[in-house]
């Protein structure tokens, strides 16, 4: 018998405490507790909620925006790290499954940021760290691309859960990868985008993407979008009236819950701050799949094949090996000296001792 839970989901629509990770995590913890008090078992927050979205990429040229990149980098979070621990603790106290976006500092060097979604279980365990596969348009000035290692559906008490960030929800291959792993609950995290082209209605675009994924996959989608606070406007726009007007553009944000028929389960929230609550019954996903199960009977896997590279991408692969004679692969001894006991520059090291094999040979001669 399949496990098809029935539960309350909460989609949070709010602004971060801009570029302040400590205060934003505190705000998130308070909202998690509030949502749990209203019966929520799944709480979804916006994209890069901690500590905010780099709107200057859209309103400044790269040179002007560079100091802001530095400011964002210094305000971002490490995964794992103390801010993640606080979020895990908040989820554990509330007993909720949590999806929240963060700006993640990538290692091992300086200067790389990722647009990352954290999935945390009700026991406070970090289940998933998904780095956005492709930053969208101007976002490439801030974030590096992720890899396929984090395209994972997590088995949680509220059902099989997957998550994608903003524009990833337009990528049919990324969405299919999650659906093919049995996803029934999808978290879609967005940012308010008043800086889009004039003919682009962000609220409509978000609703359209959520409806498409739900209808195609016969799943539920919980959409969480951020808002633009006066603080963000003041910091990013300053006295530039053109940018201030741009950031005040309406229909820049939409949050809500959509069902397997592609329709909103409850009325979505547009632009205003708040939390949208909706009841999700995963049993509703079953009957529609008799018509279209695109990861099962309604597909042709003898015709179509999708291969996903799930290996994590690293800047360097260091392979350590040893030759049978005990020397390193480069021909030097394990202590870094040449086979003749000299340093690579040809000089004898201070207080050098013979190679162990040479010592062994000397002893054998004396014994003989």
The pLDDT score that the predictor gives to residue 365 is 42
Q: CB of 19 within 8 A of CB of 285?
A: no
pLDDT tens digits along 247-260:
999 999 999 999 99
Active centre residues (catalytic)? 47, 132, 166
β-pairing, 112-120 vs 154-156, is unpaired
Query: What is the residue whose two structure tokens read 């530095």?
Result: 70
Number of H helices, E strands in the chain: 10, 12
Q: 191 and 48 in contact (C-beta within 8 Å)?
A: yes
Rounded to whole angstroms, the Cα distance separating 211 from 177 reads: 18
CA distance 131 to 107: 13
Q: Residue-wise over 56-68: b if at least 16 C-beta within 10 A, else e?
A: bbbbbeeeebeeb
Burial of 300 (0-12, 13-18, 19+ CB in 10 A): exposed
**Closest by CA position to 13, among listed 222, 243, 200:** 222
Alpha helices in the chain (DSSP H): 21-37, 56-59, 62-75, 82-94, 172-179, 202-217, 230-237, 241-247, 286-291, 356-367
For the chain, what are the domain ranges?
Answer: 6-291, 319-368
DSSP string of 316-363, one letter each residue: --------TTS--TTS--TTS--TTS--TTSPPPTT----HHHHHHHH
Residue 228, helix vs strand vs coil: coil
Q: Count other Cβ atoms within 10 Å, centred on residue 258.
A: 27
CA angle, residues 75, 72, 165, in degrees to nearest 5: 100
Say what the pLDDT of residue 324 is. Answer: 60
Token pair for 166: 């903003």
- Single pTM value for the model: 0.87
Task: Please give the C-alpha separations between residue 288 and each of 215, 219, 292, in angstroms, as whole numbers.
Answer: 9, 10, 7
128-179 tens-digit pLDDT: 999 999 999 999 999 999 999 999 999 999 999 999 999 999 999 999 999 9
Residue 221: which of 177, 261, 172, 173 has the closest Cα? 261
Interhelix angle 82-94/21-37, rounded to 10 degrees, is: 10
CATH topology of domain 6-291: Nitrilase/N-carbamoyl-D-aminoacid amidohydrolase (3.60.110)
Residues of the chain with pLDDT under 70: 320-332, 351-368
Residues paired with residue 106 on neighbouring β-strands, in sequence order? 112
CA-wise closest residue to 102 among 129, 121, 123, 133:
129
């Amino acid at each position: 018998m399949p496990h098809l839970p029935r539960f309350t989901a909460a989609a949070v629509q709010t602004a971060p405490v801009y570029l302040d990770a400590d205060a934003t995590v505190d705000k998130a913890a308070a909202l998690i507790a509030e949502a749990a008090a209203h019966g929520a078992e799944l709480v979804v927050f916006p994209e890069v909620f901690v500590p905010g979205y780099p709107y200057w990429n859209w309103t400044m040229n790269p040179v002007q925006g560079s100091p802001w990149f530095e400011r964002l980098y210094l305000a971002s979070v490490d995964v794992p790290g103390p801010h993640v621990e606080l979020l895990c603790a908040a989820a554990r106290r509330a007993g909720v499954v949590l999806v929240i976006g963060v700006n993640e500092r990538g290692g091992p060097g300086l200067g790389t940021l990722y647009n990352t979604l954290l999935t945390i279980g009700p026991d406070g365990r970090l289940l998933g760290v998904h780095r956005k596969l492709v930053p969208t348009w101007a976002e490439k000035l801030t974030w590096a691309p992720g890899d396929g290692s984090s395209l994972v559906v997590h088995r949680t008490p509220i059902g099989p859960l997957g998550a994608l960030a903003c524009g990833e929800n337009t990528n049919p291959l990324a969405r299919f990868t999650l659906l093919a792993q049995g996803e029934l609950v999808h978290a879609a995290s967005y940012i308010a985008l008043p800086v889009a082209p004039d003919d682009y209605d962000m609220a409509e675009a978000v609703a359209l993407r959520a409806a498409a994924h739900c209808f195609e996959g016969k799943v539920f989608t919980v959409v969480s979008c951020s808002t633009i606070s006066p603080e963000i406007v003041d910091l990013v726009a300053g006295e530039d009236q053109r940018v201030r007007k741009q950031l005040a553009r309406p229909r820049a944000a939409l949050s809500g819950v959509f069902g397997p028929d592609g329709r909103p389960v409850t009325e979505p929230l547009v632009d205003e701050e708040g939390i949208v609550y909706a009841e999700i019954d995963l049993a509703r996903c079953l009957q529609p799949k008799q018509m279209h199960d695109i990861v099962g009977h309604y597909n042709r896997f003898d015709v179509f094949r999708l291969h996903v590279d799930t290996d994590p991408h690293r800047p360097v692969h260091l392979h350590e090996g040893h030759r049978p004679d005990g020397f390193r692969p480069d021909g030097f001894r394990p202590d870094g000296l040449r086979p003749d006991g000299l340093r690579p520059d040809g000089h004898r090291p201070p207080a050098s001792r013979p190679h162990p094999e040479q010592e062994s040979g000397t002893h054998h001669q004396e014994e003989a």
